[in-house]
Structures are given as structure tokens and as C-alpha cells.
Amino acid sequence: MNSPIRKVLVYIDGTEQSITAAQYALCLAKCADAEVHAIYVVNTRALDDLLKARIFLKEEQIEYARDLEADAERYLNHVRELARKKGIAIETCKTTGSVYQEIVRAVKDGGFDLLVIGELSRIRSRREEFYDETERAMRSVTCSVIIVKDEERVWRMYESL
Amino acid sequence: MALVDLVSVDVVKIPLQANSKPAVIRELVQVLMDAGKITDVDRALKAIHEREALGSTGLELGIAVPHAKTDTVKTLTLAMGVSPQGVDFNSLDGKPSRLFFLMLAPPNLSGPHIQALADIAKLSRSRALCDALAAAKSADEVVRHFHAE
């Protein structure tokens, strides 16, 4: 039987949970002999919302956009380094826009059969104001999704590769 | 990290005692100090005031969102306060602010910082939620409004 996992996408957002997800995705890719890709979305949608809400000034929007671009480079570099240390090839990608839309689009356009994301908030507020973009992407993507938990165990798995 | 993860009883103060903008900011930073979230009050205050000098973070609907990037925190950090009588925060609509979200973030956590502030922006569009939070009588009540599980 062919492996059910051929092409994996891991979503990176700079949180520790997303780095753990990257480690898990690398473990999975190695075991399943699958391609692994990482994506970071520069959340320009949130920046626009903050400017409209007047929480941000224009100069802040520009400054934080630069910060997000720098964070994207930093965290994708880190993921590339994690892959390099274990001899695993990885493609990384930075996009801009809305987190939810970019993840859904990347999965569809890239033909991924698995999305790997970091642990979501344990608090599941019913308030619409606090819906989580990553969770929304999880519910909307056309492929299967793994939510990675247990950071310590994942670290041990990664270290043992 | 979502806004709901940052709101806990130890970082919510009701009612705020302060009756001026600088005093509100100081009181909220002290909340973070008392909760063990920061160790350097003066540097945190400096970062907040530098941002306020560029333009007030007092919005409409009685909400104020003082915020800053600072290396006095290692992770995204929020203090919330409610002032039932309202405080002049040089807000956009000229009205007193009653609901305060003071956010500090380390410089290398832009993504989660922006997401948490965007959650506050969404909250600020809900008059019902803002009124409920501003009318809350305890930190527990505020947390319950956020979690609404």
C-alpha cells in the first residue's frame, strides 16, 4: 500500500507550539518518506484591522509589517536548520494576507495531504469575537490535519531521528 | 496565543483606583508586577509612554489599548482594568475610557502580538461585549465573559 502521507505542510507562526509542530512534521516526513513544506503567513490582514480600529498608527503598521517579515525569515530559517540537522529536505514559503485564507489556499494549490499545526488554545471561547484563524483553517482545509501536542515527547522523537 | 489565553484573574483589576491617564497606566503595570509577569516597572512604563506620545491609544466605546514592544517581558503579557466612573484617556471620541487592555510583547513575537491586538480590535466592535465587560464587578466575571464556554 502506498503511504497515505506524501506531502506535508506545517504552519509556522513563531509560537513554541508551531516549532514543536515543525519538529513533529519532520519526524513524520522521515518515517513516511514524505515531502515536507513549511509556511509562514505575514498577517497583513490583522495589521489592516489594527489600523482601521485605530489601535495602530500608520507608522506602527509599517514597523510591525517589517517585524513580521523579519520574524518570518527568522522562524523559517530556524525550521530549515531543524531539518538540516536531521538531513531532511524542506521547502519553506512566506506569504502575506489573512492566515486562514493563505493556509487554505496553500493546501489546495500545493496538493498537500496533511496539514500539521501547533497546539491550539485550550480555551474554546464560544464568542465569535475570539475565533482563532488557525482553528478556522483547520476546519476548512481539504486535507487531514494533525494538531501537535506534548512538546517534550515530540522533542525526544525529533532528537532520536 | 489568543487573547483568551492571556486573560486570567491575576491580571484583571476591578475597579481601577486611578483617575488619570498616567495613573491608570502605572496601576496596570503594577498589576503585572504583582502577578510576577514583569520585573522592571520603570522600563515597562517608559515603553508604554513612548508609544502614547506618538498618539493616544484611547479608542471609541470607552476602550483604551496602551501597548508596547519591550524586552522587559519574555512572552505576550496583558493586564486588564475596569474603571466604572471612566478616566480621561484622550480618546478618539473625547469620552472617558472605562475598559483598559495594556499589552506588552517582546520584540520577536510580532505575530502573536498582532493577533492578540487584532482580537481586541474585534472585541471593540461589539458594543454588547464591551458594555458587559465594563459593567463587570469582579475579575472572575471578566474571565467568564472571555471564555464563554
Please say if the pLDDT value at position A122 is more than 80: no
Please say if the pLDDT value at position A31 is more than 70: yes
pLDDT at B1: 61
pLDDT, tens digit, for every residue of B77-105?
Answer: 999 999 999 999 999 999 999 999 999 99
Query: Which residue of A127, A131, A132 to mutate against B (max B Cβ within 10 Å)?
Result: A127
What is the band of A125 on the pLDDT scale with cuts at 50, 70, 90? low
Tell me if chain A has a CB within 8 Å of the CB of B4: yes
How much is the ipTM here? 0.89
pLDDT at B109: 86
Tell me if chain B has a CB within 8 Å of the CB of A146: no
Of B28, B95, B29, nearest to B58 by C-alpha is: B95
Tell me if chain A has a CB within 8 Å of the CB of B67: yes
| Residues in chain A closer than 8 A to B5 (CB atoms) | 121-123
Of B89, B21, B100, B39, nearest to B67 by C-alpha is: B100
- Cβ atoms of B116 and B122 within 8 Å: the answer is no
B67 is catalytic: yes
| Residues in chain A closer than 8 A to B118 (CB atoms) | 43, 46, 49-50
- Cβ atoms of B6 and B140 within 8 Å: the answer is no
Q: How far is A130 from chain B (nearest CA, A)?
A: 6
- Cβ atoms of A35 and A6 within 8 Å: the answer is yes
3-state DSSP assignment of residue A35:
strand
What is the band of B127 on the pLDDT scale with cuts at 50, 70, 90? confident
What is the band of A143 on the pLDDT scale with cuts at 50, 70, 90? very high
User: What's the CA gap between A99 and A42, in Å, rounded?
Assistant: 8
Please say if the pLDDT value at position B54 is more than 70: yes
Return the higher-pLDDT residue of A148 and A134.
A148
Write out the E strands in chain A.
Answer: 7-12, 35-42, 91-96, 114-118, 144-148
User: What's the CA gap between A115 and B92, in Å, rounded?
Assistant: 42
- Cβ atoms of B44 and B104 within 8 Å: the answer is yes
| Residues in chain B closer than 8 A to A133 (CB atoms) | 115
CA angle B10, B75, B26 (to 5 degrees): 55
pLDDT at A8: 98
Please say if the pLDDT value at position A110 is more than 60: yes
Looking up cell 520585573, which residue turns up?
Answer: B39
Tell me if chain A has a CB within 8 Å of the CB of B100: no
pLDDT, tens digit, for every residue of A32-90?
Answer: 999 999 999 999 999 999 999 999 999 999 999 999 999 999 999 999 999 999 999 99
Which of B111, B121, B148 comes nearest A50 by C-beta? B121
pLDDT at A132: 78
| Average pLDDT of every residue of chain A | 92
Tell me if chain A has a CB within 8 Å of the CB of B110: yes
Tell me if A46 and B54 make a contact (CB, 8 A cut-off). no
Helices (H), chain B: 3-6, 21-34, 41-54, 110-124, 127-134, 139-147
User: What's the CA gap between A41 and B148, in Å, rounded?
Assistant: 29
Catalytically annotated residue among B67, B113, B145, B147: B67
Tell me if chain B has a CB within 8 Å of the CB of A48: no
What is the band of B108 on the pLDDT scale with cuts at 50, 70, 90? confident
